[in-house]
Amino acid sequence: MPSARPILDQSASREPAVQTVPHAKLANAIRALAMDAVEQAKSGHPGLPMGAADIATVLFTQFLKFDAADPKWPDRDRFVLSAGHGSMLLYALLYLTGTAPMTIEEIKRFRQLGSLTPGHPENFITPGVETTTGPLGQGIATAVGMALAERHLAAGFGGDIVDHHTYVLASDGDLMEGISQEAIALAGHLKLNRLIVLFDDNGISIDGPLSLADSVDQVKRFESAGWAAERIDGHDPKAIAGAIARAQKSERPSLIACKTTIAYGAPTKAGSEKSHGSPLGAEEIAGARKALGWDAPPFEIPADILAAWRQAGSRGGAAREAWAKRLAAKDAALRGEFERRIGGALPAKALAAAVAAMKDRLAAAPKETATRAASEAVLDVLTAAVPEMVGGSADLTGSNNTRPKGMAALSANNYGARFIHYGIREHGMAAAMNGMALHGGVIPYSGTFLVFADYLRPALRLAALMGERVIHVLTHDSIGLGEDGPTHQPVEHLAALRAMPNLNVFRPCDIVETLECWELALKAKDRPSVLALTRQNVPQLRLANDADNRCARGAYEIAPAAGAAKVAIFASGSEVAIALEAQKQLAARNIAARVVSVPCMDLLLDLPAAERKALIGDAPVKVAVEAAVRQGWDAIIGADGLFVGMSGFGASAPAKDLYRHFGITAEAVVNAVLGVAGKS
């Protein structure tokens, strides 16, 4: 466990000037940069960086285990600025500690196009930023996943190479958001004692004092969730250091509620919402400089102060080197496995062999089964081949079929296990999964009902934005779930998920496609995936033993037309069987139809135009069949295409009755085609 190592009394070889830099000057460097950058950009949030500067200074100069020379060092402590609007705090820290490539020029370009200093922190833009934050509550919930991944990997690889903390700076807004409740409950339950949340308890949000809308006692709230929690003066460096030192020793995750003044140092705007999200103005900044005793011009950090900060940035170098030696001394197989997993490479051979063997079995003995059960069979095979897969469910384990045989439940007594009971916390689950993926070494997958994608969507959106490999198994994917009725029957969800950039939405039609879609989801290293799966049984439609992954282009012709196609029927998931039946009925009327299975519309639409057009073909009549709303399908069938699906909410009844009632049948497809034929 890293101990408190104050930089100011550490090394005999240090420059005398550095040794004498007092805390206030180090913190004021952050304040000055935040004020000046926001002023220059004419937009941004100076209040939080100025208020939280003391907390951040103590953390970064005395506790945080990091090395500015290598911001990706796997055993570094993670720091998550949950209140992403305070991004200048993080940018100032990166610059001051000397984390390349953050420079003063980038600070001057705060919030400008192409800069390393966008409005909110983006992990894919700025080295040293652990996760994208901005939507309040996401950061703290993501950090739970990071802390969980740390414990999981420590159990697997040993505490001598995985041994770090996750620190969060959270604001009032973070703690007011509902997702924070899911996150703190999960962290408390799992006793994630490497998680330390520093709460910037300034009592101010955008509308004014928090008393307008909130009267929660956060310390009691966290305590009731199983955390250690205490209140301190967030401007007293000794109090901050004492609390962090105590938190590091705690058996539980820790909340440190740091009482602060927003925009500390600003003469008239400190303590007021006026400093939250707008430039302070020249006069106020001049007053703050005076009050803080900061006389350096804008964007200039006096050499002694910068040197002290740079020293803080490099103080973890020795720890990193020692860690690298410990890793190098490990058994070669274990080291190789650790490096592979942290690097995110799949065990390619084992995966390919597992997929091929399962295809052989399915070709020899086809299976009619629900695709959710197909997914379970696939997971039995894949989780054996890919040990970094960590599963879970939001209390629907038996329905989502995400727990393969023999996968033990992860708990505070068994962090090495691979199945997480997230509880009924879809949003917290998805955010924690993001944190695990960001931490590295883990491929998180999990489950809930497709209709509850709405409950996790904000976290999924961040996964898509960040390009993180998380896999959501979303079962009960249509009216085909039957009796639970319209509250549980997704209709708009496929369209809504397909609308999200950089997310692959898979809806396999049978067990073979389920296997292929899982393989694609695992291989999609730079994006999240959704697998939309049925509750009801579907026949195995892919009977040949195809060596290639036919789902890889998003769509493929599953049944060609006998002769030149007059009709092309496109379908996904459970409706592919309906399309194939319609093809037969049309053939009986001498109408040649081809059927195209569309397991992933996103991949199809991403194809180069010529390839996409060739797959879609030029049959004069195009029909799409999907037990969901039409939106999105026009890209394939055109505005004049025929659509057989849903146009409103479902109903409570057995699945077969619902398909008939809503007219999603082979006969309906045939009638739609004949209707067009009749008109022409």
Ligand X SMILES: Cc1ncc(C[n+]2csc(CCOP(=O)(O)OP(=O)(O)O)c2C)c(N)n1
Quick note: the x/- pattern for ligand X over 104-123, rule CB under 6 A, is --------------------
Opening angle at CA 323, ends 164 and 310, nearest 5: 75
Supply the DSSP string of 6-75, one letter for each residue.
-GGGS-TTS-HHHHT--HHHHHHHHHHHHHHHHHHHT-S--HHHHHHHHHHHHIIIII----TT-TT-TT
Among 85, 274, 461, 622, binds ligand X (CB under 6 A): 85
Give the torsion through C-alpha atoms of 427, 433, 437, 438, to 10 deg: 50
> Please, what is the minimum distance in Å from the beta carbon of residue 176 to ligand X?
7
Q: Which is nearer to ligand X, 142 or 311 (CB)?
A: 142
Of the candidates 474, 477, 435, the residue with the CA atom closest to the CA atom of residue 147: 435
Contacts with ligand X, 162-191, as mask; x by CB under 6 A: ---------xxx---x--------------
Asked whether the beta carbons of 447 and 474 are under 8 A apart, the reply is yes
Q: What is the Cα gyration radius of the chain?
A: 28
Minimum CB separation from ligand X for residue 46, in Å?
9
Q: How far is the CB of 309 from ligand X (least distance, A)?
A: 23
Q: Which residue has the tokens 């039957």?
A: 482
Residues 492-551 that bind ligand X (CB under 6 A): none
In DSSP terms, 645 is beta-bridged to 626
Q: Is 407 helix (H, G, I), strand (E, B) or coil?
A: coil
18-57 mask for ligand X (x: CB under 6 A)?
Answer: ---------------------------x-xx---------
Nearer to ligand X, 174 or 376 (CB): 174
Closer residue to ligand X in complex, CB, 75/177: 177
Residue number with CB closer to ligand X (173 or 316): 173
Instruction: Name the minimum Å distance from CB 126 to ligand X.
Output: 18
CA angle, 304 as apex, 301 and 308 as ends, to 5°?
95
Stretch that binds ligand X, among 53-61, 78-86, 379-387, 598-606 (CB under 6 A): 78-86
- Segment lying near ligand X (by CB under 6 A), choices 180-188, 200-208, 218-226, 666-674: 200-208
Can you say how many angstroms the Cα of residue 236 is from the centroid of all Cα atoms in its chain? 35
Shortest separation between residue 203's beta carbon and ligand X, angstroms = 8
Nearer to ligand X, 206 or 216 (CB): 206
Does residue 478 touch ligand X according to CB under 6 A?
A: no
Which range in 79-87, 227-235, 377-385, 578-586 contacts ligand X by CB under 6 A?
79-87
Active site residues: 426
Per-residue interface string for the shown chain with ligand X, residues 132-161, x marking contact by CB under 6 A: --xxx-------------------------
How distant, in Å, are the alpha carbons of 16, 22, 26 from that of 9? 11, 12, 15
CB nearer ligand X, residue 134 or residue 599: 134
- The enclosing H or E element of 559 equals strand 556-559
Candidate ranges 17-25, 128-136, 146-154, 553-561; the one touching ligand X (CB under 6 A) = 128-136
Which residue intervals of 467-555 are DSSP H helices?
493-498, 511-523
- To the nearest whole angstrom, how small is the minimum distance from the Cβ of residue 138 to ligand X? 8
Nearer to ligand X, 274 or 403 (CB): 274
Binding mask 289-318 for ligand X (x = CB under 6 A): ------------------------------
Stretch that binds ligand X, among 129-137, 351-359, 389-397, 664-672 (CB under 6 A): 129-137
Q: Is the peptide bond before 279 cis (omega within 30 degrees of 0)?
A: no
d(CA 255, CA 168): 9
DSSP line for 207-244: SSBGGGT----HHHHHHHTT-EEEEEETT-HHHHHHHH
Q: How far is the CB of 204 from ligand X (least distance, A)?
A: 5
Angle at CA 566, nearest 5°, toward 563 and 568?
100
Judged by CB, which is closer to ligand X: 261, or 446? 261
Q: Which residue is nearest to ligand X (CB)?
A: 173
Nearest residue (CB) to ligand X, 135 versus 447: 135
Closest residue by Cα to residue 586 from 670, 668, 644, 518: 670
Residue 206 in the binding site for ligand X (CB under 6 A) = yes
How far lies 537's CA from each of 254, 362, 373, 594, 667, in Å? 47, 16, 9, 24, 20
Q: Report the alpha-carbon distance of residue 476 to residue 482 in Å, rounded.
A: 9
Which residues, 6 or more positions from 633, have their beta carbon under 8 angstroms from its beta carbon?
570, 601, 624, 626, 641, 643, 645
Q: Does 263 bind ligand X (CB under 6 A)?
A: no
The yes or no reply on residue 205 touching ligand X (CB under 6 A) is yes
Q: Is 202 in the site for ligand X (CB under 6 A)?
A: yes
Tokens of 555: 């769509």
Q: How far is the CB of 274 from ligand X (least distance, A)?
A: 11
Q: Count CA atoms closer than 13 A to 630's CA, side-chain side.
A: 13
Which of 200, 190, 96 is closest to 139 using CA atoms? 200
For ligand X, which stretch binds (CB under 6 A), given 21-29, 202-210, 288-296, 638-646? 202-210
271 scored as a contact of ligand X (CB under 6 A):
no
Number of residues that bind ligand X (CB under 6 A): 20
Q: Which residues contact 224 (CB under 8 A, 6 or more apart)?
A: none
Q: 181 or 489, CB closer to ligand X? A: 181
Given 65, 276, 341, 427, the residue binding ligand X (CB under 6 A)? 276
Considering beta carbons, is residue 136 or 243 the nearer one to ligand X? 136
Sheet holding 621-626, edge to edge: 556-559, 593-597, 567-571, 621-626, 642-645
Least separation in angstroms between residue 284's CB and ligand X is 16
DSSP-derived letter for residue 204 is: B
Smallest separation (angstroms) from ligand X to the CB of 53: 13
Least CB distance to ligand X at residue 328 (A): 43
Amino acid 139 reads G
Buried b (16+ CB within 10 A) or exposed e, 345-371: ebbeeebeebbeebbeebeeebbebbb
Give the interface segment with ligand X, choosing from 94-102, 130-138, 315-323, 589-597 (CB under 6 A).
130-138
With CB under 6 A as the contact rule, which of the stretches 82-90, 239-247, 329-337, 601-609 interacts with ligand X?
82-90
Is 140 or 308 the residue whose CB approaches ligand X more closely? 140
- Footprint of ligand X on this chain (CB under 6 A)? 45, 47-48, 83, 85-86, 134-136, 171-173, 177, 200, 202, 204-206, 262, 276
